[in-house]
Each structure stands twice: as C-alpha cells, then as structure tokens.
Amino acid sequence: MPTLVEEVTVDLERMDLDHRVPLSRPAEPPRRHPGLHLSGVLKHTLESSRMPGWDRYSKELDEQKIPLIWALGHAWEEFVASLYPEWIWQPGETSRVFGSCRVYMNCDGLSPDPRGMTIEEAKYTSCAVRTGAEFLNDWLKIQQGTGYCLGYDAVFVRWHVLYNRQPWNPVYKRFLVRFDDKDLRQTERMISANAAGAVEKGYEE
C-alpha cells in the first residue's frame, strides 16, 4: 500500500507570488512520441475491468481532451512550477517496455531530494477537497504515479492539487506519497497485462 508521507494545505502569501521564477519554454516544445502512452493503458484498464468508479475515472481522462479544462490544467502546472525553482520542469518523455509493448509517459517535473528523486505532478480539479486517506484511494492518480515511478526510476511522487469546486474559496493541497517495491511490481504487472489490449483497442497516439 502506498504510504502518505506528507499532507499539507498550502496557504500562499503575497511574498510567495513576488518570488515566483519566470519559466522559459523552448522555441519548439518537445512533441509527444507517437505510440502507446500510460494514459491509454489506464483508460483501457478502466473500461475493460469496469471496476467501481471506472466511469468517473474514464471521464477524468476524457476531460484532458476539452481544450479549456486542458488549458486550466496547464496554467496551474506552470504556476506551481514557478513557485519551486528547484524543479526540473517538464524533464522530457521517458518510456519503458511492459510485456511486448513500449509505453511512453511525461511527468510535470522532477526535484532532488535526500531520499531520492521526487516526481512532481500538478492537478487541477473541480472535485471536493480530499483528505490524504481519500487521495490514496484515488485509483487513477495512484496508478499514474506508480507508473511514473517505474518510468523515471523513483519511489516518491508529490501531487500539487488545486481543488476549485468553489471558485471563491480554492484550496491548494500537497500530497507526498512513497511507493514500495510491492506497489511497483503490482502496477508493472497491471500495465503489462493491459498494454497489448490498449493497442488493439486503438489507444495509441
């Protein structure tokens, strides 16, 4: 079971905004590699398993195709990255072979930590605020995080979540989660078992 290492509600102050670091983007941003991506494997897994809540998770993945929600998510990611200059923001795509398929993935950031490299993920949502225990039960985020750990050779993922269910009272929470070897191996088996099916169903990009 993943371990919740830290749960923090972040109260930003004016000073935090004043000390943001401008981000620079390359003139030609790197393109996503054509092929099977982790999101496609997770979507296929949800739709083929029909696990409890599968339709909600599948809808969350589909929201990435809605331009304005997609834009808000990117705006939040860039804002968060500007608060943490130690991040390696958008470190680039990585991939790993699962079974007979190569699966690609892109995390939002990486940051050095005495305990090992930490994956940084920014999420924008209109869902109600979650506790740490509730967050650990979010199948989609946890599987995405574990998959990224496999791809980037890490065991820590820190999520920066903007809960904007009440636009007049948004909440920024950080969740730092540690994955053990059992978590990694379970997700590795899950991806390996579903990757070829995702290709057959047309979830390649």
% of the chain at pLDDT higher than 70: 91
pLDDT digit string (tens) for 104-142?
999 999 998 888 899 999 999 988 999 999 999 999 999
Whole-structure pTM value? 0.92
- Separate counts of helices (H) and strands (E) for the chain: 7, 9
Going along the chain from its start, the domains and CATH numbers come out as: 3-11+35-200 (3.90.320.10)
In this predicted structure, the answer to whether residue 153 has a pLDDT above a threshold of 90 is yes
Compute the distance between CA of residue 63 and CA of residue 19 in angstroms, rounded to an integer.
32
pLDDT tens string 91-107: 999 999 999 999 999 99
Alpha-helical runs (H) found in the chain = 14-18, 38-49, 54-62, 67-83, 132-136, 139-152, 181-200
Q: Which pLDDT score, from 0 to 100, does residue 121 have?
A: 97
